[in-house]
Amino acid sequence: MLIPHPLLGLRDAQEFTYYGDAALMDRPDPSAETAEADFCDYVFLRDNPAGVHRELWFHEQGDRSWLVVTRNTVTHEILSAELATDVKSRGAK
């Protein structure tokens, strides 16, 4: 698989370490009333879809940036890749 790195162009997926669902970027609020249950869901439960999946890849043997890659888990087709920091700052606005 080749991942279209937004800064470096097409890079071999072997340069990356896979982390998991991009939803892991949104940590629950530890001071919320429901924090215990929220964190249990956050740590252990996954949507695990067959089809389009947004997921975190770490460019460990590259520029060490975190990417949010949108990929089809049935065909392995990669649809897009963005810097995780861009996704995060867009969400914060």
Partner 1 sequence: MKFSGFKVFKEAVTGHKGWKPLWRNPEPKKSYDIIIVGGGGHGLATAYHLAATYGLKNIAVLEKSWLGSGNIGRNTTIIRSNYLLPGNQPFYEFSMKLWESQEQDLNFNSMVSQRSIINLCHTDAQRDAYRRRGNAMHLSGAGGTLLSQADLREMVPFLNFDNARFPIKGALMQKRAGTARHDGVAWGYARAADMRGVDLIQNCEVTGFRIEDGKMLGVETSCGYIGSEKVGVAVAGSSSRVMSMAGMRLPIESHVLQAFVSEGLKPTIPGVITFGAGHFYVSQSDKGGLVFGGDIDGYNSYAQRGNLPVVEDVVEGGMALMPMIGRARLLRSWGGIMDMSMDGSPIIDRTHIDGLYLNAGWCYGGFKATPASGYCFAHLLATDTPHETATAYRLDRFARGYVIDEKGVGAQPNLH
43 binds partner 1 (CB under 8 A): yes
| 83 vs 37: CA distance, rounded Å | 30
| 42 vs 53: CA distance, rounded Å | 17
35 binds partner 1 (CB under 8 A): no
**What's CA 12's distance to the chain center, in Å?**
17
Taking CB under 8 A as the criterion, the residue among 34, 61, 73, 80 binding partner 1 is 73
89 binds partner 1 (CB under 8 A): no
Q: List residues binding partner 1 (CB under 8 A).
A: 1, 12-14, 18, 20-21, 37, 40-41, 43-50, 53, 55, 71, 73-76
